[in-house]
């Protein structure tokens, strides 16, 4: 990789002596030229194609991480909005019930007034901040009929519950407002990273774009070779396992019987579900990557894996950070079609393994759902493999 070069002037440092005016002028000119050179770097300071390629990859990676944060925040926002709506509906119903109880108490107060009873006590109750304290102080309950006591009990209970629910609704609204602000921030973060990547690519000349394409092609060829190696290793391991199983069956199982293990039954169940997930994923090939999308016209990486496994009857969480915990982690050497392959230390990307070292995934902005080697970025970026069902 070419280094970032920046021209800097060299010269002789003069200290401890008195220089003539001409020498001073010359030194001043050198200093001015040095400042000019630093202010306007030469063409050699332009980043190399390799540096541009790395920077663009880093930006896409950062954008994907920001996308997963956006997905998580959007999911949280939806859940909080449902809670707020539910609380507001509950408060509305309880307020209506409280009004009914208040009207009933009012009718009792009016009746007491007509009969000469102590109507003001009941009327004042309706305005009391704490009805229970009011009862304790005035001993009004002793002067009420059984029907009135039931109405008063209902009123006290409903007022306390309604007050509590109103406070919960208010708090939930504040939380929702905060989360919506975070959602807006994460969305802007994604857009900023993508814009920066597009800006870098737009400045490349035709020749530089061709060189960048050549670099990508070499990386893809290396990834394909690594995928083929994994396929060969797995084929050899499977053949060895089959031979060992056949040998064991010959020496231990009675003639004419076949041993069936719980493990093989489990494998068969998983294979059936994985086949459905893979069949769905294959029909999505060619659809565009759109960050935050869950189909059916476009997907981001975790949106695709979620939709694929949903087609197999398995509900996965929305984000890569949650999907990585939604199953059993297996070693790369034991990877099977249908498994989820997670990438990078921050677990910001995921693909659906299809066998032979290949996966179906929604790669990045500007790309389309496609088959690609799981080693597309090198083996070092593979974080883990998870079997979701």
Q: Which residues are catalytic?
A: 301, 349, 361
Nearest Cα to 361, choosing from 274, 269, 289?
Answer: 289
User: What is the Cα–Cα distance from 351 to 373, expressed in whole angstroms?
Assistant: 10
CB atoms within 10 A of CB 12: 6
Q: Which long-range contacts (CB under 8 A, 24 or more apart) does 71-76 make?
A: 71/292, 71/300, 71/302, 71/303, 71/318, 71/319, 72/318, 72/319, 72/321, 72/322, 73/179, 73/182, 73/183, 73/186, 74/183, 74/292, 75/318, 75/319, 76/179
Residue 176 and residue 182: Cα distance in Å, rounded? 10
- Is 285 in contact with 369 (CB distance < 8 Å)? yes
134 burial class (0-12, 13-18, 19+ CB within 10 angstroms)?
A: middle
What are the CA-CA distances from residue 133 to residues 139, 172, 328 (Å)?
Answer: 10, 29, 58
| C-alpha–C-alpha distance, residues 225 and 237, integer Å | 19
Q: Of 81, 71, 293, which Cα lies nearest the Cα of 189?
A: 71
């Amino acid at each position: 990789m070419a280094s970032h070069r920046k021209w800097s002037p060299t010269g002789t440092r003069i200290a401890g002596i008195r220089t003539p005016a001409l020498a001073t002028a010359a030194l001043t000119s050198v200093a001015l030229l040095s400042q000019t050179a630093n202010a306007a770097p030469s063409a050699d300071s332009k980043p190399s194609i390799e540096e541009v390629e790395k920077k663009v990859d880093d930006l896409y990676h950062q954008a994907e991480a920001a996308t997963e944060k956006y997905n998580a925040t959007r999911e949280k926002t939806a859940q909080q909005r449902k809670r707020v709506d539910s609380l507001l509906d509950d408060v509305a119903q309880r307020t209506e019930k409280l009004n009914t109880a208040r009207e009933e108490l009012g009718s009792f107060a009016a009746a007491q007034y007509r009969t000469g009873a102590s109507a003001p006590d009941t009327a004042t109750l309706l305005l009391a901040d704490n009805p229970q304290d009011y009862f304790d102080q005035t001993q009004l309950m002793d002067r009420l009929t059984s029907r009135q006591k039931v109405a008063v009990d209902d009123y006290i209970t409903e007022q306390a519950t309604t007050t509590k629910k109103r406070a919960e609704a208010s708090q939930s609204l504040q939380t929702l407002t905060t989360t919506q602000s975070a959602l807006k921030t994460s969305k802007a973060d994604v857009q900023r990273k993508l814009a920066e990547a597009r800006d870098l690519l737009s400045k490349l000349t035709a020749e530089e774009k061709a060189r960048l394409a050549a670099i990508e092609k070499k990386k893809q060829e290396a990834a394909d070779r690594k995928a083929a190696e994994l396929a060969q290793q797995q084929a050899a391991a499977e053949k060895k396992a089959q031979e060992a199983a056949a040998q064991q069956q010959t020496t231990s199982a009675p003639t004419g019987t076949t041993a069936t293990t719980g493990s093989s039954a489990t494998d068969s169940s998983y294979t059936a579900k994985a086949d459905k997930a893979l069949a769905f994923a294959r029909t999505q090939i060619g659809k565009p990557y759109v960050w935050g999308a869950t189909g059916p016209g476009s997907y981001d990486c975790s949106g695709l894996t979620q939709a694929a496994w949903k087609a197999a009857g398995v509900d996965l969480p929305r984000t890569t950070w949650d999907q990585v915990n939604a199953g059993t982690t297996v070693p790369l050497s034991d990877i099977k079609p249908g498994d989820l392959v997670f990438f990078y230390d921050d677990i910001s990307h995921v693909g659906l393994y299809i066998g032979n070292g290949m996966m179906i995934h929604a790669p990045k902005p500007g790309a389309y759902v496609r088959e690609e080697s799981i080693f597309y970025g090198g083996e070092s970026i593979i974080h883990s493999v998870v079997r979701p069902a």
